[in-house]
Amino acid sequence: MTMETVSTAKAHGGTQGVYRHRSTTTGTDMTFAVFVPAHDPGERLPVLWFLSGLTCTHANVMDKGEYRRACAEHRIVFVAPDTSPRGEGVADDPAYDMGQGAGFYVDATEEPWAPHFRMRTYIEDELPALIGSEFPVDPDRQAITGHSMGGHGALTIGLRHPDRFRSVTAFAPIVAPGQVPWGEKALGGYLGDDRSTWRAHDAVALIEDGARRPDLLVDQGEADQFLDEQLRPELLAAACAAAGIDLTLRMQPGYDHSYLGVSTFMADHVAWAAERLGKAT
């Protein structure tokens, strides 16, 4: 895989870069951002993946997420992929919650999405292989987080891969896409009408079906305009309680769905990850 450097800049003693490569999974060019803290030659650092939400690219968290100071302090690499394939010939939809910018971190099986919308494989397999070959990361010390649709992605990927990710957190996640309008539209469109195939992409359903983690951290704004209809954190709380998963659900008074909330609590999520990532084993 050939990687092109789009831009680099120094920040908090490390390097914030934007990169592009041709993905064999999506059949498109894919752009992503990586922050690498200062480190010793040959040193391998833990990595925190951040998955973004509807309409976003890598740039949203890079510009608004305020993660670099905390990642520099804890010496954690921060990787921010795009949310979907893009470009000429890639299927799209006029609505913001379907198509380009709204990949939902699934491998689509339905037309017209199946040829390019393979974000599950891209995030779980192809991009980690590229990051591992091009950046000083320790593959045995990985964490994942995300916002909204990306919170859904972080929870589901973390639950499906408990041995890969030592830390799983989320900001205002879609916890039960099979039970809310955003998720029903996206999962139905990408995966078809058989709801049994949706369960691998639904955090609450995964827990109901036996997925386990020792703990989870979720920050959710109480003034979030999508809270009651689309996000439903009480469903995750009930599933975790029944499964014995230690969920720290922090309902934050006054915070909405924007990156103002994400940036406010980002350092807490980096610190939570750092505590669990620890030193190399």
Please report how many Cα atoms fall inside a 13 Å half-sphere around the Cα of residue 194, on the Cβ side.
7
Among the options 97, 148, 201, 202, which is catalytic?
148
Is residue 82 within 8 Å of 30, Cβ to Cβ? yes
Return the pLDDT at 2: 87
Among the options 52, 116, 224, 269, which is catalytic?
224
pLDDT tens-digit series, residues 180-237: 999 999 999 999 999 999 999 999 999 999 999 999 999 999 999 999 999 999 999 9
- Residue 263, number of CB atoms within 10 A of its CB: 15
58 is a catalytic site residue: no
What's the token pair of residue 75?
Answer: 């010496």
pLDDT tens-digit series, residues 144-178: 999 999 999 999 999 999 999 999 999 999 999 99
The residue range of the domain holding 142 is 3-277
Give the type of residue at 212: R
Report the SS3 class of residue 43.
coil
Mean pLDDT score, 256-269: 98
pLDDT tens-digit series, residues 9-51: 999 999 999 999 999 999 999 999 999 999 999 999 999 999 9
Strand 77-80 with 137-146, pairing: unpaired
23 is a catalytic site residue: no
Q: How far apart are the first and last CA of the chain?
A: 29
Q: Look at residue 264 and tell me whether its pLDDT is greater than 60.
A: yes
> How many domains, the chain?
1
Among the options 74, 152, 257, 269, which is catalytic?
257
Return the pLDDT at 280: 57
Q: What CATH number does the domain containing 236 carry?
A: 3.40.50.1820
224 is a catalytic site residue: yes
Please report how many Cα atoms fall inside a 13 Å half-sphere around the Cα of residue 172, on the Cβ side.
30
- pLDDT grade for 122, boundaries at 50, 70 and 90: very high
